[in-house]
Chains A and B, each alone.
Chain A
Amino acid sequence: MGTTNSTLSKIPNVEELMQETGFTPAHIVRLYDRFEALDKEKTGLLRPQDFGAINRLAMNPIGDRIIGAFFSPGQETVDFHSFVRILAHFRPADKKRPKDPSMPEPVNSRTSKLKFAFQLYDQDKDGKISRAELLQVLRSMLEMQVTEEQLESIADRTIQEADLDKDDAISFEEFRKSLEKVNIDHKMSIRFLR
């Protein structure tokens, strides 16, 4: 525990971070160790190359997108707080949280998780997933042998199914609605981040 405390003291604003994200001190410490391990130059900030050095991500079809999600628009680096905040999205939801409308939505609630997923699609951040953006994602997740026509037909049908206001794009609400049957909490949670 001594090391935990000493590590914790190295991190600025750690109380606030824990409050916001809901991580326990042990988790914060672990994540900090990970952060430092990734931050090879010890600058205290992570760059895309640092993420790129994680070999396995190269084998993920949307790995680069996810790396991108860590960086706020315009930013080239990510600090520990942002790092933890993003990861906090993947905490399993606290089942016993009282529904208090006055409090801000916790970062690992269903809505927040969905927002994170939505942002992966919506690269230009206009609040809608356009057909082009959907095609991009599909292209990356489908094998090379799928032809253009097939790809477009899938994209078209997907939009057709989900697009309720017929603007040929999927807004966040439509996105959320199309996934109402999916157990987001299970699908977007990592147990060891509990």
Chain B
Amino acid sequence: MEANVAQQVNRGNTPRIKRKKSYKQPWMLHFMVLPAAILVFIFSYIPMSGVLMAFQDYKPALGIADSPWVGLKHFRYMWENDYFLQITWNTLFFACSKMVMNLIIPFSFALLLNEVRKMTLKRSIQTLIYLPHFLSWVTLSGILIDILAQTGLINQFLSSTFGIKPIFFLGDGNWFRFTVIFSDVWKEFGFNTIIFLAALSGINPSLYEAAEVDGAGRWKQTMYITIPSLIPITIVVATLALGNVMNANFDQVFNLYSPLIYQQGDIIDTFVYREGLLSGQFSFATAVNLFKSVISLVLIVISYRLAYRFAGYRIF
């Protein structure tokens, strides 16, 4: 198409053929990418070179160039540290639980929402359930701290309805884990539902018509048309989530945890923050972070490959 138009324009007008390439101004395109490219260089690529300090005893006064090199000292220390294994386990536990919950619940919710035939009701429900996604974890943890307090809404409800003693949702390790996973679902399930709803709206209606002619009820239509049609997108969502296995959501944990429950609630990112910026162990914190980043990188590459192979998914 493009070539056609260009040919028509140039026919019988020879001097223009010479300018054929330059009228699209490829140099201008370089200029347009330039600001973004420079910013990315400064704020992404320069810090990447900063990971070298994981192999040093970095002193801010000396900089990376002059700080002494110590090889794998920090990594060895990391591996001999029981607490590091604990926070790695916590991170994996949080990330995997959220991953499973954020797949199953939005999937089921989208299926149920698809059965709502009144468009106004459907839209109102969608509007309400997306909303928490846009609120920050600062706001949400402010709310959670209030309603989960000993005299808060939830404990009042539990004690008046079931006669349960007040629960330390944020002060007891196991309850903390439950709260983190549950509140993450609260914030994100509506948003994740969108993806499945979009896939549902893309199903060819003639499939349902054919099923109807064959005498299939709604249950059978769901089992044999709707669910199978959602499998590709489910595979994409699941495999892409794989790249996030080392991410247990810093913002959430950071705003909800306290020293009381570090054993069950501390994750790699919060540990890096405390060690690095609060205790000033720049090199050790960078080493821990590098370990995490490298594993994440491998997982992301694998997950994108899988998503591409099984569902033809590409990001651009």
Pairing of A with B: no
